[in-house]
Amino acid sequence: MMNRLRNLDAYPKINEDFYRRTLSGGVITLASSIVMLILFFSELQLYIHPVTETQLRVDTSRGEKLRINFDVTFPALQCSIISIDTMDISGERHLDVRHDIFKRRLDSHGNVIEAKQDGIGHTKIEKPLQKHGGRLEHNETYCGSCFGAEPTDDACCNSCDEVREAYRKKGWALSDPESIDQCKREGFVQKVKDEEGEGCNLHGFLEVNKVAGNFHFVPGQSFHQSGFQFHDMILFQQGNYNISHKVNRLAFGDFFPGVVNPLDGVQWHQEKQNGVYQYFIKVVPSIYTDVHENTIQSNQFSVTEHFQNAEAGRMQSPPGVFFYYDLSPIKVIFEERHVEFLHFLTNVCAIVGGVFTVSGIVDSFIYHGQRAIKKKMEIGKFN
């Protein structure tokens, strides 16, 4: 049995007296050892750190919401005249969105102006006009008129903003706020004029249906009438609107490792007259799963830009910045995972065996080449 096992030995041993060591062999051995170490540590790093695999699948989700996080600065438009609207292809629209949106006034140098305690929308009760036509007495409850825009007979509008909102819901334009008692008492128009020359930073988020649509920043207040959308800008300015802006941040969903938002830090300066700056965005649903199986459902996007100048009355939209987004039917799945130990062991064996074999071939080629050259030189001497 022992002899049979000895005959199966695939690695026959050679007596050390028959070994011949060369300088070229020593150099090749040193170089191959260094290569082995480099490849081994490279494979070890891949084994220790997780790798991210990418898959593409059809997006079959339905009825979900899309969260849009934004931070946009307008250096030449004051906060009191900027409104945010959203609409989508399903017909749902939200005009003059204010929920979860914050505005910060900026001076001409881009510094934040501290908000005054007596701001726009803060009503001063100094014998205001009652709904029935008389002035407020000390023993009465204030109920201001909506000036014909009351949704019900007992509705009240106690501030300028409430009157504007009632007009907007009716689809009416508030062309003369000085004739509105609430706006006159609050000094609404005067405060808008006082903010001329200021800028505005808007940040927050919108939650919209996960269908194609758009959201936009426009001067004035939007209202809907007879299936069309209009913007009431008469009470603000009678000239051009400078829609220069900087997109500090724009993301469709939560952050996840590796995501790149191409509009972050993008700035555009208006050189021509009134116009519409448009961003056309393709949103790609993405799912990221880390090694601990924590899942983040978010989105990536690509974007193109276009400026439409208001020449010859061809501009159908009001001046502003519009973001048109559409969703890709394909979603990208990122999954972090560690390399299996057997896979790591297989690669290490392949590295050692491969480098050893290649270095042996190189050493053999150099050794036999040197011997052949030496033999030819000896034959030449004898001749």
Report the distance separating Cα 253 and Cα 285, nearest Å. Answer: 9
Asked whether the beta carbons of 97 and 91 are under 8 A apart, the reply is no
Same domain? For 61 and 46 the reply is no
Going by C-alpha positions, the residue among 193, 157, 187, 192 that lies closest to residue 172 is 157
What is the reported pLDDT for 139?
A: 57
What is the reported pLDDT for 135?
A: 58
Same domain? For 163 and 279 the reply is no
Show the domain range for 33.
1-50+339-379
Domain-terminating residue out of 163, 180, 197: 197
Measured over all CA atoms, what is the biggest interatomic distance in the chain, rounded to whole angstroms?
136
Question: Is 272 a domain residue?
Answer: yes
What is the reported pLDDT for 117?
A: 37
Helix (H) or strand (E) holding 100: none
Same domain? For 215 and 274 the reply is yes
Domain-terminating residue out of 177, 197, 217: 197
Q: Which residues of 67-79 are buried (b: 16+ CB within 10 A; e: fewer)?
A: bbbbbbbbbbbbb
What is the reported pLDDT for 121?
A: 41
List, in sequence order, every residue forming a beta bridge with 287; answer none if it has no partner: 297, 333
Number of domain units in the chain: 3
Same domain? For 230 and 277 the reply is yes
DSSP 253: S
Question: Is 34 a domain residue?
Answer: yes
End-to-end CA, the chain: 58
Same domain? For 274 and 357 the reply is no
What is the reported pLDDT for 317?
A: 64
Same domain? For 103 and 173 the reply is no
Report the distance separating Cα 307 and Cα 284, nearest Å. Answer: 24
Same domain? For 89 and 224 the reply is yes
Question: Is 313 a domain residue?
Answer: yes
Question: Is 40 a domain residue?
Answer: yes
Question: Is 120 a domain residue?
Answer: no
Three-point CA angle 137, 142, 145, nearest 5°? 115
Where the chain has pLDDT below 70, the residues are: 9-11, 13, 15-18, 114-140, 171, 173-176, 178, 187-190, 221-239, 273, 310-317, 381-383
Torsion angle in degrees (nearest 10) through CA of 139, 142, 147, 150? -120
Same domain? For 179 and 144 the reply is yes
Same domain? For 182 and 313 the reply is no
Q: How many CB atoms lie within 10 A of CB 113?
A: 14
Same domain? For 68 and 40 the reply is no
Helix (H) or strand (E) holding 83: strand 82-88
Same domain? For 177 and 260 the reply is no
Question: Is 118 a domain residue?
Answer: no
Same domain? For 174 and 275 the reply is no
